[in-house]
Amino acid sequence: MKNNKHYNSVTFIHGSQIIKGILLVIVLMLFLFSLSGLLTSIKSDYRPSSQSVNEAASVFTGRMLFSLLALENQYFAASLTEEEKLDSIPKQLLKLSAQISLDDPRSLLGKELPGFSIFDSQILVAGEGTDYTNMPYESSPPNDEIPIGDTATQNIDDIQVDEGKSEVPNKVTTNGKKVVFIYHTHNRESFLPYLKGVTDPNKASNSEVNITKVGEKLQKSLESIGIGAEVDTTDIMERLVNKKLKYSKSYQESRSVVQEAMTTNKDAAYFIDIHRDSRRKKDTTITIDGKAYAKVAFIVGSNNGNFEKNYALAEKIHNEIQKQYPGLSRGVFKQGGAGYNGKYNQDLTEKAMLVEAGGVDNTFEELYRTMDAFAEA
């Protein structure tokens, strides 16, 4: 006869273990609350945001990830060319943490030598006479502060905006659809000929007489040849002042303008951010058939997934301008990495461009001629 024995297992939990568990939970909660309080109390300029996380993640390209996998799996490595293979891990860590590349001395000197950072751009397509000594660059207010108050203006009676080139027949039509959206991230960029007593390019700023007039002219020029366009004149600088943000946060503010336009106008296909360059007149002006024109330059941000398509668009327009107005375009330039936004809202669409129109010494007469030429392209 078998004896059926039943064994019951009993687990004993010491009271000290329960107390330790409770204390651990309390400590974790205190840490999380303290961290949350710290992050919300610091200035918005230094506060982590989804945009800053996105920008940090954009440093890791698809090629970099693929190359890292190739370090562990030789099947991946077999498909990479020598140029595509990743540098040593220490070199990559140095580049990611300190933005220093051992293969590019500019990355070491750029932050130490005043003005040297303007050479960080890359010339993708060079216009006539363009080289690394006269590439476009934008001045910013000293100490990243936004100027308060306006300088007295002059010669404003000479500013006249016509309705475009009426003698040009309507070759195309968008049937009333506003397919082009024009805006201005640095909307107060102005021009020295209209600012009384101002000679410093870094101080060429005004809330009324500024780059938005150039955008308004482009809109009229496009409309005159049958292309529907909308121009936004939001005072981005005023927004920054009201929110107590630095000048470097300009693209963060203009981004919301573009996103709103994309939501409210489904017909909008092209998004043009018009700026004014800080180069002087000899680099930003050309005479064609006896008339002075303000040169244009195209900037493409490299820190976004739409780089290739936006680059192709900029190159196409550059080539068209060169055919009709040789020398009017300074070329196409790539900007990204440390010291640059690298996106310029171009990550939002595959048909975005940043256009540098003229420089601090150009007149609206010269700029308006260029906008007519740009619209034709």
Percent of the chain, pLDDT > 90? 42
Can you say whether the dihedral through the CA atoms of 204, 206, 208, 212 is positive or negative?
Answer: positive
Percent of the chain, pLDDT > 70? 64
Q: Find the range with the poorest average confidence among 29-38, 176-185, 194-203.
A: 29-38
pLDDT of 166 over the 50 cut? no
All structural domains of the chain with their residue ranges: 142-376
pLDDT (average), residues 82-110? 58
The rounded mean pLDDT for the chain is: 79
pLDDT of 93 over the 90 cut? no
Residue 86's pLDDT band, with cuts at 50, 70 and 90, is: low
**Domain 142-376 classified CATH 3.40.50.300?**
no
Residue 198's pLDDT band, with cuts at 50, 70 and 90, is: confident
pLDDT at residue 357, rounded to an integer: 95
Q: Find the range with the poorest average confidence among 28-37, 50-59, 170-179.
A: 50-59
pLDDT (average), residues 296-306? 90
